[in-house]
Chain A
Amino acid sequence: MEQYEPDRLTPAQAAATRRSLRNGRASLTRRSLLRASAGGALTAGGLGALSACGIPAAGRTAGGTAAEDHSAKEKVVNFSNWPEYIDVDSSGKRHPTLEAFARRTGIQVKYTEDINDNSEFFGKIKPQLAAGQDTGRDIIVLTDWLAARLIRLGWAQKLDPSNLPHAYTNLSPQFRNPDWDPGRAYSYPWQGISTVIAFNRKALDGIEVKSVSDLLDNPRLKGRVGFLSEMRDSIGMTLLDMGKDPAHFTDDDFDAVIARLQKAVDKGQIRRFTGNDYTSDLSKGDLAACVAWGGDIVQLKADSPDVDFVIPASGYMTSTDNMLIPNKARHKTNAERLIDFYYEPEPAAELAAYINYVSPVDGVKPYLAKIDKSAADNPLIIPDKAMAAKSHAFRSLTQKEETAYEEKFAKLTGA
């Protein structure tokens, strides 16, 4: 715990930051804006402008990663999350756990559901983070690989462990040491995601599906099998099926998986590679079986009894959506307090009962049982020992690997 030095500014540094914001080069006055636009108009004519607009290297943000922390003065925290990823009361407008946090701490949470897709959201915040500017967000929730990329690029702030006592104690052991953020110095999981095989019993019509091999090889499922457009989930599940470990695999293993999937694509076995939209296909029966996310299946099962899931004997993939504090966030301490709040068992149980993903909080089960007994017994929400033993994580990739793999996977999916 002691090894993390919080990136606090000395009073002199803070003053310098303030000065530079108000009247230094960074200050945005009307005149500088006019000058900038006039300059832009002048150069726009020449080819010189083409050379002028390169994209600067990431990670070298001037003036460090932290901004002045306004947490004490401004009792707010700006929280960006995915849609339908938090508890909602019966009116559908209020979030009880966020209100409980506000009541206890006096910090108002400005909650925005503006993350719909990891890649798209990265495109959205990249310009500000690359330029070393505040994104206007204090907490963002990103899936493992994007969280890893942000940390790699130096765009996330180191967390202050002294503000995170509950998070430190209650984080479930299986999420403690991802290879991209050992010891959770920069991130804490919001929820865990299990990638499993789901099926529609009626559409299967007696066909047995127990593994990825069944999906890829059974001719009776031709054109009715779905895979996920999330590279790590589809590749990871197939790696496991081929007896490889997604935490330690080589380029050759990856190519073998691509070749295997390509064969299934070529013979028309795989209908589509989808995002969350597989859910409607599965409940309608257009997809008989597919690689799917556990949280979706819990909700689908409640609506259509034909939908169910199976954990392949070779294992399943686990990933997490992680809370991070982006560089230059204005309310770092408030954000850390909110992260810590969700690692207390009561709010964690309330959240898990509502959204049905894997809770990353240890010891949440008795609290969840009080709210919803069946949720507490559901291995997709609280994995039991047998299930947890089969859980695997995808290893982190270097930037070069990431580009190469994404390109190969994109070719597989048609573009």
Chain B
Amino acid sequence: MSTITRAEAPELTPAPETKPPRRRGRWTPYWLLLPGILWLVVFFALPMLYQASTSVQTGSLEEGYKVTWHFATYWDALSQYWPQFVRSVLYAASATILCLLLGYPLAYLIAFRAGRWRNLIMILVIAPFFTSFLIRTLAWKTILADGGPVVGALNALHVLDLTNWLGWTAGDRVLATPLAVVCGLTYNFLPFMILPLYTSLERIDPRLHEAAGDLYAQPFTTFRKVTFPLSMPGVVSGTLLTFIPAAGDYVNADLLGSTDTRMVGNVIQTQFLRILDYPTAAALSFILMAAILLMVTLYIRKSGTEDLV
């Protein structure tokens, strides 16, 4: 307000009092950033540095570990454990696709058709987060138990014959097979897919749908040409939020899987805690990180979106 009155007045004196506040303000953004930066340094940058250092060390618990720039650890880790890497990517990708197939219709329903049920359905989507990750996963052991109704029904419908033929299951059971692990991953990360999809769908102006209808577009054409392209940011961020944690997950493979379903996360855990081979564990973590970073970069390039969420 004061600047306006001053501007109206003839410019006899330059406003000297405007300068000091501006100088004081120059550092304000940095001060405000400081807690965030400190947080990142302490909980991200330093641990990363520490792990990077560990990955090029050699030694043992008794003799201590020294940095010897032993980069061969990376090659050894990769050549020994590449099957688990491939498996992790396959499982995570399958779970991501399943999440998208299950999550998109649901997010669409919540955004456009749910009406007054919208909040209730949203709560139902988030509700599993109220219990622990471990409990949710263990619950699937009861649901998919060998003698349970689910496996009984799948057997009666000969679905398991098909999945056996595909190599997803073995014998008359679902637990301790790749199928169980992928289902567990899908279930546990589904909300991470639905929430970004919902936010991007909900933002779409319903009048665009009406306009498409006015231009004689069939409902499916409307979806293909209007809704889906506009929801792409949600699809991209949803797939990333699902794929990245799923690729590093080890709980599902441990509880729902067997010896032939172990993922990279399990290898890292075993190397770090049981074999005490810290360099290999650190190297595996970095390879996983690099692989995911590479895949994500390519994916974002390909899908051509910079605008996530």
Contacts and interface: CB of A to CB of B under 8 A. Distances in A.
A407 interface: yes
Contact of B275 (A49, A273, A406, A412): A406
Nearest to B263: A415
Nearest to B172: A223
Interface in A246-274: 265, 268, 270-273
B260 A414 contact: yes
Interface string B265-290: 01101111111111000000000000
Contacts of B195: none
A44 B65 contact: no
A13 interface: no
A62 interface: no
11 contacts: A53-B50, A53-B67, A55-B54, A223-B170, A271-B176, A271-B258, A272-B259, A280-B142, A286-B146, A286-B173, A412-B259
Given A54-B65, A58-B61, A268-B170, A413 B53 contact: no
4 nearest A-B pairs in the assembled complex, by CB-CB distance: A57-B64, A414-B262, A414-B259, A119-B273
B62 A281 contact: no
Interface of A: 40-41, 44, 49-59, 117, 119-120, 122-123, 152-153, 222-224, 265, 268, 270-273, 277, 280-281, 284-286, 399, 403, 406-407, 410, 412-415
Nearest to A288: B146
Contacts of B255: 277
A407 B53 contact: no
B147 interface: yes
B155 to A, nearest CB: 14
Contact of A415 (B64, B65, B266, B276): B266
A220 B66 CA distance: 52
Contacts of B62: 57-59, 152-153, 399
Nearest to B64: A57
B162 interface: no
A410 B275 contact: yes
Contacts of B49: 44, 49-50, 53
A414 B258 contact: yes
Contacts of B57: 54-55
Contacts of B175: 286
Nearest to B175: A286
Given A53-B67, A272-B176, A406-B275, 12 more contacts: A50-B52, A54-B64, A55-B59, A123-B272, A270-B259, A284-B142, A285-B146, A286-B146, A399-B61, A406-B274, A412-B259, A414-B261
Contacts of A123: 272-273
A53 B64 contact: no
Contacts of B138: 277, 280
A268 B177 CA distance: 11
B17 interface: no
B56 A50 contact: yes
Contacts of A53: 49-50, 53-54, 67
B41 interface: yes
A57 B64 CA distance: 3
Nearest to A227: B259
Which interface residue of A51, A117, A123 has the most chain B CB atoms within 10 A? A51
B308 interface: no
A215 B256 CA distance: 21
B275 A403 contact: yes
Contacts of A119: 273-274
A284 B56 contact: no
Interface of B: 41, 45-46, 49-50, 52-54, 56-57, 59-67, 81, 84, 138, 141-142, 145-147, 170-171, 173, 175-176, 255, 257-262, 266-267, 269-278
Nearest to B259: A414
Contacts of A117: 273
Contacts of B261: 414
B64 A51 contact: no
Contacts of A152: 62
A55 B276 CA distance: 13
Given A51-B53, A153-B62, A284 B147 contact: yes
Nearest to B264: A415
A152 B276 CA distance: 15
Nearest to A56: B64
Contacts of B258: 271-272, 414
B144 to A, nearest CB: 9
B65 A55 contact: yes
A212 B54 CA distance: 41
Contact of B84 (A58, A265, A280, A415): A415
A54 B67 contact: yes
Contact of B274 (A281, A410, A414): A410
B21 to A, nearest CB: 31
A29 to B, nearest CB: 20
Nearest to B147: A285
Contacts of B65: 54-55
Contacts of B146: 224, 284-286
Given A57-B63, A59-B62, A406-B275, A41 B266 contact: no
Contacts of B260: 414
Contacts of A413: 259, 262
A410 B259 CA distance: 10
Contacts of B259: 265, 270, 272-273, 412-414
A138 to B, nearest CB: 24
A406 B270 CA distance: 9
A73 B144 CA distance: 56
Contacts of A285: 146-147
Contacts of A273: 259
Contacts of B60: 399, 403
Contacts of B66: 54
Given A277-B255, A399-B60, A415-B270, A51 B67 contact: yes
B275 A41 contact: no
A114 to B, nearest CB: 16
A407 B275 contact: yes
A153 B63 CA distance: 10
A223 B275 contact: no
A43 to B, nearest CB: 9
Contacts of A277: 138, 255
A49 B52 CA distance: 10
A281 B258 CA distance: 13
